[in-house]
């Protein structure tokens, strides 16, 4: 008998030593007496002290999804089969955690006598899963852009080089000197177009291949006024009126070159697609929404039919108004440079009324 008792005591001591090492919370609730048992890991996970323990029914308030928790308990009571669920909780100290709750019932043909199970802090595991899913999504997006980019490069370079080749073959056959001179000018023009295309594609490659280095806290007010100084002559020539409503202390975490490019493209886009019926007015403002800085660039220009062109608006080489100076690269770069660092871009627009572009910085 003594040997059996010693063995049981040894197992109990081992259990009490091992469960904290495994960081596995163990609990039991008995319905008849209303008693609840927790091991020390349970208190640690919930970040509570024994004297601060709430009544059993209030413990569920720590769980954000009460419906899922109640469903898990109900299924266990009804089936007397073990169940497991993952929940997001807010601890007694106000910290957010993810936990894995395992639950089982002790019952007979008449009633359920108790519930017992384990509780495990899986916050780090969940964080790694979310990071992995985000990386997979980013990889899929990059692959999609790469596929689209390869198609565009192939199409555009083939077009320009094809035109140059055709003209180069026709020039030696042409006897009229005037026509030959015209063809030579066309070759030169196609060469210029080809160089412009290569420059534009170089910018796209830079955005899609850049890493997260050189990210810094940037003063948004200063960045906007710096771009306005660069574009001063264009703004004056086009008689555009630019209003800036940005607090001088607002900071955004971004790459300086990207931020300048984003602001430049949005302003030049507003000027480029101004209405011929009224003077161009551009309003640039920054607001704080849900702990994110939002940059808005609003214009009273031609506007965009989003029902017709919304899906293609930020596509590479997407242009809709037929302007001779429209290349369809600017908004693509804006979207790429914003999303490259976890931000979001959206637009509200109506034909003939103007547009509002919104940049949400991460």
pLDDT for residue 30: 87
Q: What is the mean pLDDT of each run of 10 residues along the chain (362 residues)?
A: 44 65 84 85 88 67 90 89 93 92 86 89 90 82 65 63 80 85 83 71 61 76 89 86 92 84 87 88 90 91 76 62 53 82 86 90 84
Contact 218, 263 (CB under 8 A): no
Contact 112, 129 (CB under 8 A): no
Sign of CA dihedral 151, 152, 156, 161: negative
Q: What CATH number is given for 123-209 in this structure?
A: 1.10.287
pLDDT for residue 295: 93
CATH class of 213-362: alpha beta
Q: Domain residues of the chain, as ranges?
A: 2-121, 123-209, 213-362
Contact 316, 329 (CB under 8 A): yes
Burial 142-174 (b: 16+ CB within 10 A, else e): eeebeeebeebbeebeeebeebbeebeeebeee
pLDDT for residue 7: 46
pLDDT for residue 222: 92
Neighbours of 236 (CB within 10 A): 9
Query: How many H-runs (helices) and E-runs (strands) does the chain carry?
Result: 11, 12
pLDDT for residue 221: 94
pLDDT for residue 150: 63
Phi, psi of 285, rounded to the nearest 5 degrees: -135, 160
CATH superfamily of this structure's domain 2-121 = PAS domain (3.30.450.20)
pLDDT for residue 325: 47
pLDDT for residue 227: 87
pLDDT for residue 188: 83
pLDDT for residue 358: 93
Assign residue 315 a region (left: φ > 0; alpha: ψ between -120 and 50; beta: otherwise): beta
Euclidean distance between CA atoms 28 and 103, whole angstroms: 9
Q: What are the distances in angstroms from CA 271 to CA 47, 109, 294, 326?
A: 57, 79, 21, 12
């Amino acid at each position: 008998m003594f040997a059996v008792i010693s063995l049981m005591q040894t197992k109990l001591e081992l259990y009490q030593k091992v469960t904290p090492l495994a960081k596995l919370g163990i609990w039991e609730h008995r319905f008849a007496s209303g008693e609840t048992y927790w091991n020390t890991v349970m208190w640690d996970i919930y970040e509570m002290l024994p004297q601060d323990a709430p009544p059993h029914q209030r413990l569920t308030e720590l769980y954000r999804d009460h419906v899922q928790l109640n469903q898990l308990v109900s299924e266990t009571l009804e089936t007397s089969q073990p169940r497991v669920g993952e929940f997001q909780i807010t601890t007694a100290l106000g910290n957010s955690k993810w936990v894995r709750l395992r639950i089982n019932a002790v019952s007979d043909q008449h009633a359920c006598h108790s519930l017992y199970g384990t509780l495990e802090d899986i916050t780090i595991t969940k964080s790694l899963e979310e990071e992995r899913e985000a990386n997979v999504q980013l990889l899929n997006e990059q692959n999609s852009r790469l596929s689209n980019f390869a198609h565009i490069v192939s199409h555009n370079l083939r077009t320009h080089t094809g035109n140059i080749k055709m003209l180069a073959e026709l020039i030696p056959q042409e006897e009229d000197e005037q026509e030959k001179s015209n063809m030579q000018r066309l070759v030169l023009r196609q060469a210029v177009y080809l160089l412009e295309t290569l420059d534009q594609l170089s910018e796209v490659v830079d955005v899609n291949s850049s890493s997260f280095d050189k990210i810094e806290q940037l003063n948004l007010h200063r960045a906007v006024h710096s771009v306005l100084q660069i574009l001063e002559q264009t703004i004056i020539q086009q008689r555009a009126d630019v209003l800036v409503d940005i607090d001088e202390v607002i900071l955004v975490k971004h790459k300086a070159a990207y931020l300048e490019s984003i602001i430049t493209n949005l302003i030049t886009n507003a000027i480029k697609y101004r209405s011929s019926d009224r003077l161009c007015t551009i309003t640039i403002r920054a607001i704080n929404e849900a702990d994110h800085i939002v940059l808005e660039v609003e214009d009273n220009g031609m506007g965009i039919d989003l029902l017709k062109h919304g899906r293609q608006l930020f596509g590479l080489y997407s242009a809709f108004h037929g302007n001779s100076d429209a290349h369809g690269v600017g908004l693509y770069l804006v979207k790429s440079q914003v999303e490259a660092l976890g931000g979001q871009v959206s637009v509200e627009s109506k034909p003939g009324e103007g547009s509002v572009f919104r940049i949400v910085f991460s």
